[in-house]
Structure 1
Amino acid sequence: MVVKVYVDMLSQPCRALILFLKNTKIPFEVVTISLRNGDQKKDEYTKVTPLNTVPAIQDGDFCLGETVAIIRYLSARYPDRVPDHWYPKDLKKRSRVDEYMAFHHTGTRGGCCGVFINEIIFPLFNGGKQVPEEKAKKDLENMAKQLDKLERAFLKNNNWLAGNDISVADLLAVSEMMQNTVSGRDVTEGRPQLKAFVDRVKNRLGPTFDEVFAAMYGWRESFKK
């Protein structure tokens, strides 16, 4: 059975999920959802997930939204098709990945995404208007705070965020940090440990990384013109 995966490849969580799937043996089919065109609000998609967000999956007659829930479901549903390091079966190792994923939404994503919205999304939908300077400053400070936590609490002197091998935690984190490059911002600037981490993930995933990020790269190039 092929799992249908509903994604918009300009979305950070969608890219993280596709990176995960491409590094497993789970058979899947990509169904493109355009957030900008409002596909997520259509009745047909609401039947897949009433949350009207991406990503979402349909596995037979079972549908599910939310990236973390999807990763946990697929890892349990297809245990023999998912290399263990992505989401370990060992309770303690898995709990380290869960710990990062619990932090991720308000931590790495909360910090990086706020700045991204200010610099790209807000001007895009407001005729080029910029967010108030005070809000921009506050969100930059929050991003710095969250990246400090990421380095101190998870990366430390480790190569990976949640153990001694790459996991879904690393995919989620790097996808968020890469999104800010659309505006030309490098969130790893002045953070050599974090930069080395991002490069490590890219190198580990090889050409698959660039394949998954192709749409984002195109978006980034459009802002240089």
Structure 2
Amino acid sequence: MVVKVYTDFRSQPGRALLIFLKNTKIPFEIVEVNLRVGDHKTPEFVKITPLCTVPAIQDGDFSMGETVAIIKYLATKYADLVPDHWYPKDLEKRARVDEYMAFHHTGTRGGCCSIFVSEVLVPVYSKGKEHASDERLTRDKENLTKRLDKLENAFLRDNDWLAGDDISVADVLAVCEMMQNTVNGRDVTEGRPKLRAFLDRVKNRLKPSFDEVHNAWYAMWDTYKL
């Protein structure tokens, strides 16, 4: 059975899910959902997930949304097709991955996504007519700094990886968020050699899937006027 993955390459969590799947033996196919034209709000998509978010999956008669939940479901159901380091079966190792994923949404994603919305999406979606206020940008930059400090000083304090001694889904989720701002020329690792080394480590480990997914993302953004 082939898992259908509904996603838009503009979505950081969507890209993370695709990279994870490309590094497993789970059979899947991509169904592209265009967020800009509202594909995620159609009656057909609402049947997949009433949350109206991407990514989402259809696995036989079962469908669901929310990236972290999807990854846990797939890694558990198709455990024999997923290398154990991605979401370990060992309770304590798995708990470390879960610990990061509990932090992720308001942590790494919260910091990286907020500044991306202010610096990129506000002017892009308004076709240059609107820009985030200086106050908002200052707040977003301060928030980004706090979240990246947590990433470095807690999760990467004594580790090469965020949640153990090998790469896991935690690392993929984090790096996809960190890459989002590159379309605007912002390097969230600037002045942070530990974070820069981590980013490079993940990218190199995930070749060629990392480049394949992000090249599709960059190709989309080439059509925008930033």
Does TM, normalized by the shorter one, top 0.5? yes
Q: Deviations over 1:71-111 (max 9, x none)?
A: 00001111100000000000000000000000000000000
Query: In 1, Cα distance between the equivalents of 2:125 and 2:79?
Result: 42
Query: In 2, Cα distance between the equivalents of 1:75 and 1:209?
Result: 19
CA contact (8 A) 1:122 1:130 kept: yes
Q: How does 1:1-225 map to 2 (within 5 A)?
A: 1-128=1-128, 129-222=130-223
CA contact (8 A) 1:56 1:64 kept: yes
CA contact (8 A) 2:124 2:225 kept: no
* Cα RMSD, aligned residues only: 1.2
Specify the SS of the correspondent of 1:169.
helix
Query: In 2, Cα distance between the equivalents of 1:218 and 1:184?
Result: 15
Counterpart AA for 1:30: I
Q: Deviations over 1:110-168 (max 9, x none)?
A: 00000000011111122312111001100110000000000011011311000000000
Query: In 2, Cα distance between the equivalents of 1:40 and 1:126?
Result: 21
CA contact (8 A) 2:118 2:131 kept: yes
CA contact (8 A) 2:13 2:173 kept: yes
Q: CA deviation at 1:224?
A: 7.9
Query: In 2, Cα distance between the equivalents of 1:35 and 1:64?
Result: 17
Identity %: 67
CA contact (8 A) 2:15 2:213 kept: yes
Q: CA deviation at 1:223?
A: 5.8
CA contact (8 A) 2:68 2:101 kept: yes
Specify the SS of the correspondent of 1:36.
helix
Query: In 2, Cα distance between the equivalents of 1:131 and 1:55?
Result: 27
TM-score, with structure 2 as normaliser: 0.97
TM-score, with structure 1 as normaliser: 0.97
Counterpart AA for 1:103: F
Q: CA deviation at 1:216?
A: 2.0
CA contact (8 A) 1:179 1:216 kept: no
- For these two proteins, the number of residue pairs brought into alignment is 225
Q: CA deviation at 1:65?
A: 0.3
Query: In 2, Cα distance between the equivalents of 1:188 and 1:143?
Result: 11
Query: In 2, Cα distance between the equivalents of 1:176 and 1:87?
Result: 19
Query: In 1, Cα distance between the equivalents of 2:39 and 2:223?
Result: 23
Query: In 2, Cα distance between the equivalents of 1:65 and 1:171?
Result: 18
